[in-house]
C-alpha cells in the first residue's frame, strides 16, 4: 500500500460567535488518504464538512490538531512552501454561483492559476484553456463569456477546469454535484473518475448523502456534528454499517429493485440536529439515537477500529 498523501490528526476548528460562545464546527477529526484514492466525506448540513476542507487548504487556521500533506505540516509552511502547496492541492468550492468572479471572463478564471504560477502565457495559455474547457465538456467559445451566462452545471464544470488548470495532485471537491441536475450528476462523477485514472489524482469528495459518494469513493467517512462517527471502505460501509447514524442514512436511500424496495425499512431520526455551540454530553448523537443507553450520556465514544479498515465511534462496539 502506498504512503498516505494527506493525514488529518485530531483536527479542530472552532469559531467565536460572540457573547463568549464557541461554535465547534470541527471537533477532533482524524483520517488519512493514500495517493490515487478517494475519501468520501458525508453528513447532514452544518456537520462541518466544508470547514474541514477550508482548514486543510489553510483558508482557516486550525484551532487544534494538524494537517500533514506529504508529511509536511500545512499550517506551519512558509510562503514559499505555501506556494508549492497551492499548486499541489486545489479545492472545487461548494457554491458554483458564489465561487466564480462575476467580472472575469471564464477563460481568465481558468487561466488565473496559470498566470499566478507562471505556467503558460500567450498562445500556449490560450491552448491550455481551450483544452481544459473541452476536458470538462465545454467549448472554446465559452472562454469569452461571463459566469452569469452559464447554468449551475456549467459553472461547476468551470470550477473543475479551474482546479485542474495547474495540474494539482490532490483535489478537495466540496459538493461538486449537489447543485447539479440529477440528470448530469453522473456525467460529472464520471468525468472526475476519468481524470483520476488518467492523472493519478487523489480526491477528498464531500457530499451530504451516501448515494452521491458511493460510486466514486474507495473509503467513506460519516460525520455528525463536527466528528467522524464511522469510516470504512465504501463497500463495507454499505454492506455492514455499524453506527446507528450510518444505518439511518443508508435506510434513506431508495433501492432500485422494486421488490427489495418494498421491504426497505426507513429509520426516521427524531428531533433536530443539536447546535454545535452546545453539543450533547457523551455521544453527540445520543439525543437522536434509537439505540441510546444510559452510558451514552456520560462518555464520549472514541473512533476505534473494529475490523481491518472499519472504524466506529459508538459504545455498542466497545
Ligand atoms: N466562518 C464561520 N463563522 C462561524 N460559524 C461558521 C463559519 N463557517 C461555518 N460555520 C458554522 O460551522 C458549522 C459547520 O459548517 P460547514 O459549512 O462546515 O458545514 P457543512 O457540513 O459544509 O454544511 P453544508 O452541507 O450545509 O454545506 C455550521 O454550524 C456553520 O454555521
Ligand atoms: S454511543 Fe450510544 S448514543 Fe451514540 S450512537 Fe452508540 S448507541 Fe447511539
Ligand atoms: Mg458545506
- Identify the CATH number of the domain in which residue 214 sits: 3.40.50.300
Tell me the range of 85-99, 176-190, 300-314 where mean pLDDT is highest: 300-314
Angle at 245 between CA 94 and CA 17, to 5 degrees: 50
Q: Is the pLDDT reported for residue 96 higher than 90?
A: no
Residue 181 scores a pLDDT above 80? no
Please report the beta strands in the chain, taking only residues with DSSP state E, as ranges in sequence order. Answer: 4-16, 22-34, 38-42, 64-69, 72-73, 89-92, 170-174, 202-207, 219-224, 227-233, 304-307, 310-312
pTM, two decimals, is 0.93
Confidence grade of residue 1 (pLDDT, cut at 50, 70, 90): low
**pLDDT at residue 300, rounded to an integer:** 95
Q: Return the higher-pLDDT residue of 179 and 54.
A: 54
The share of the chain scoring above pLDDT 90, in percent, equals 75
| Whole-number average pLDDT of the chain | 93
Grid cell listed for 77: 509552511
Using the predicted structure, report yes or no on whether residue 189 has a pLDDT greater than 80.
yes
312 lines ligand 1 (CB under 6 A): no
Residue 243, number of CB atoms within 10 A of its CB: 27
pLDDT of residue 260: 81
Residue 305 confidence (pLDDT) above 90? yes
Is the minimum distance from the CB of 241 to ligand 1 under 6 angstroms? no
Task: Give the Cα separation of 101 and 162 in Å (integer).
Answer: 12
Nearest ligand atom owner, CA of 49: 1
Q: Is 29 in the pocket of ligand 1 (CB under 6 A)?
A: no
How far is residue 193 from each of residues 33, 36, 129, measured CA to CA in Å? 16, 11, 21
- CA 265 – CA 39 distance, rounded (Å): 28
Number of folded domains that form the chain: 1
Beta bridge partners, 190, equal none
- Supply the DSSP symbol for 40: E
Cα–Cα distance between 318 and 263 in angstroms, integer?
31
**Residue 228 has what pLDDT?**
98
Distance CA 227, CA 218 (A): 20
In 3D space, the residue among 187, 291, 296, 297 whose CA is nearest the CA of residue 248 turns out to be: 291
| Residue 179 CB less than 6 A away from ligand 1 | no
Q: How confident is the model at residue 294 (pLDDT cuts 50, 70, 90)?
A: very high
Angle between helices 122-135 and 152-165 (to 10 degrees): 130
- Residues lining ligand 2, Cβ inside 6 A: 243-244, 283, 285-286, 289, 291-293, 296, 301, 314-316
**Binning pLDDT at 50, 70 and 90, where does residue 308 land?**
very high
Question: Does pLDDT of 184 surpass 80?
Answer: no
Which residues make up the environment of ion ligand 3, defined by Cβ < 5 Å?
49-50, 94
Q: Are 282 and 297 in contact (CB under 8 A)?
A: yes
For residue 259, what are the domain limits? Answer: 4-317
Amino acid at each position: 500500500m502506498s504512503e498516505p498523501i494527506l493525514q488529518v490528526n485530531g483536527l479542530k476548528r472552532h469559531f467565536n460567535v460572540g457573547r463568549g460562545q464557541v461554535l465547534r464546527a470541527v471537533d477532533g477529526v482524524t483520517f488519512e488518504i493514500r495517493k490515487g484514492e478517494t475519501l468520501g466525506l458525508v453528513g447532514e448540513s452544518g456537520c462541518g464538512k466544508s470547514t474541514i476542507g477550508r482548514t486543510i487548504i489553510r483558508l482557516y487556521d486550525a484551532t487544534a490538531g494538524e494537517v500533514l500533506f506529504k508529511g509536511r505540516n500545512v499550517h506551519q509552511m512558509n510562503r514559499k512552501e505555501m506556494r508549492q502547496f497551492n499548486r499541489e492541492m486545489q479545492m472545487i468550492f461548494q457554491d458554483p454561483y458564489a465561487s466564480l468572479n462575476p467580472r472575469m471572463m471564464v477563460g481568465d478564471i481558468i487561466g488565473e492559476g496559470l498566470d499566478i504560477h507562471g505556467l503558460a502565457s500567450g498562445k500556449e495559455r490560450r491552448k491550455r484553456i481551450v483544452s481544459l474547457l473541452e476536458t470538462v465538456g465545454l467549448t472554446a467559445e465559452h472562454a469569452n463569456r461571463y459566469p452569469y451566462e452559464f447554468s449551475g452545471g456549467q459553472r461547476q464544470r468551470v470550477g473543475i477546469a479551474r482546479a485542474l488548470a495547474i495540474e494539482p495532485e490532490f483535489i478537495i471537491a466540496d459538493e461538486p454535484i449537489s447543485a447539479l441536475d440529477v440528470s448530469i450528476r453522473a456525467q460529472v462523477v464520471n468525468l472526475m473518475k476519468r481524470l483520476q485514472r488518467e492523472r493519478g489524482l487523489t480526491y477528498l469528495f464531500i457530499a451530504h448523502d451516501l448515494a452521491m459518494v458511493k460510486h466514486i469513493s474507495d473509503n467513506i467517512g460519516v460525520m455528525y456534528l463536527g466528528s467522524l462517527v464511522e469510516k470504512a471502505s465504501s463497500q463495507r460501509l454499505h454492506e455492514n454499517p455499524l453506527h446507528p447514524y450510518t444505518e439511518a442514512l443508508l435506510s434513506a436511500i431508495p433501492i432500485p429493485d422494486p421488490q427489495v424496495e418494498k421491504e426497505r425499512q426507513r429509520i426516521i431520526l427524531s428531533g433536530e440536529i443539536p447546535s454545535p455551540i452546545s453539543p450533547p454530553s457523551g455521544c453527540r448523537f445520543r439525543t437522536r439515537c434509537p439505540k441510546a443507553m444510559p452510558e451514552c450520556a456520560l462518555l464520549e465514544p472514541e473512533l476505534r477500529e473494529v475490523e481491518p479498515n472499519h472504524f466506529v465511534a459508538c459504545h455498542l462496539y466497545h
